[in-house]
Structure 1
Amino acid sequence: MIALLLIQAADAPAVPVDWDTLAPMPYVSAPEMTPQLNAFVGGEVAAGRCALPKPADGHYVVRVDVAALIDGSGVIRKTVPHAIACPTVEQYAAGLVTGFARGNLNLRASASGTWYRATIVFDWRG
């Protein structure tokens, strides 16, 4: 079983170095950020688990880019969040991308998989 996973991982294309060249995530319907989704990130910042300076006006905007490898059947095989010095929020954003993509992608088939970029924007008042 482990050998099979290692073989599959070896077949996956490497994460591109220049994320600006990645096509945007091909969502059918753009995801909507809810107050509950933003509240998690606000809680992480308030608890001191993220090193973000407090904005003068108290309005936080945190962007997390996530690279997602999608196979030919539309399944996300791997997500890689861009580091923002807050691992819990990075992983949270990667999970959101996976959830937002489920049954919501307009893809061109690619047997080996294609990397896309999604940007999650958390926006709240602290």
Structure 2
Amino acid sequence: MNALALVMALAAQEAAIDWAALPALPYRAPPVVTQGMHDFAGREAKARKCPLPPAPGHNQSMSVELALLVDGTGDVRTVVPRAIDCATVEQYAAGLAAGFARNNLLPRSGAAEQWYKTTVTFSWRK
């Protein structure tokens, strides 16, 4: 699948996702976002001139909501970031979420695919 087709498929999926109805991703252990991850996201957000929410003080933060399709064996099949007008950070968060979920989800009773949501928040010094 070429890049344009992938982007179009992801956009179509996002339009169909009822974000409010998704259950939380059932982590076994909560993921840890390291300082290096925070710093990378901050550098990318600044370099790409991403829109950032107003933040008083010396710290800035950015959250990315993600929808994850988990198959019957507990493997993540797809991760769709909710658009925040900062593609690099969206895709970085998507990759992190997939990694955080790998071998870290509680067992599920059903064997069908199911969508879940999670949020990755990055914080850094302005």
Residue in 2 that maps onto 1:40: 40
The amino acid across from 1:85 in the alignment is: D
Residue in 1 that maps onto 2:79: 79
The 8 Å contact of residues 69 and 116 in structure 1, kept in 2 or not, is answered as: yes
Question: Aligned-pair distance for 1:112?
Answer: 3.4
Task: Spell out, residue by residue over 1:68-99, the C-alpha distance to the aligned partner (whole angstroms, 9 max, x if none).
Answer: 00000011111100000000000000000000
* TM-score (norm: length of structure 2): 0.81
The 8 Å contact of residues 48 and 86 in structure 2, kept in 1 or not, is answered as: no
The 8 Å contact of residues 73 and 109 in structure 1, kept in 2 or not, is answered as: no
Question: Aligned-pair distance for 1:49?
Answer: 3.9
* TM-score (norm: length of structure 1): 0.81
User: Are 1:118 and 2:114 an aligned pair?
Assistant: no
Residue in 1 that maps onto 2:91: 91
Q: Which runs of 5+ in 2 are unaligned?
A: 2-12
Residue in 2 that maps onto 1:69: 69
Larger Rg: 1
Matched residues, number: 114
The 8 Å contact of residues 53 and 62 in structure 2, kept in 1 or not, is answered as: no
Instruction: Please give the alpha-carbon distance, in whole angstroms, between the structure 1 residues aligned to 2:94 and 2:49.
Output: 18
Instruction: Please give the alpha-carbon distance, in whole angstroms, between the structure 2 residues aligned to 1:37 and 1:53.
Output: 19
The amino acid across from 2:99 in the alignment is: G
- The range that moved more, 109-118 or 70-79, is 109-118
Task: Spell out, residue by residue over 1:29-55, the C-alpha distance to the aligned partner (whole angstroms, 9 max, x if none).
Answer: 000111001011111122134222563
The 8 Å contact of residues 69 and 113 in structure 2, kept in 1 or not, is answered as: yes
Provide closer, same or farther for how the CA distance between residues 53 and 26 of structure 1 changes in structure 2, counting only shifts above 3 A.
closer
The amino acid across from 1:45 in the alignment is: A
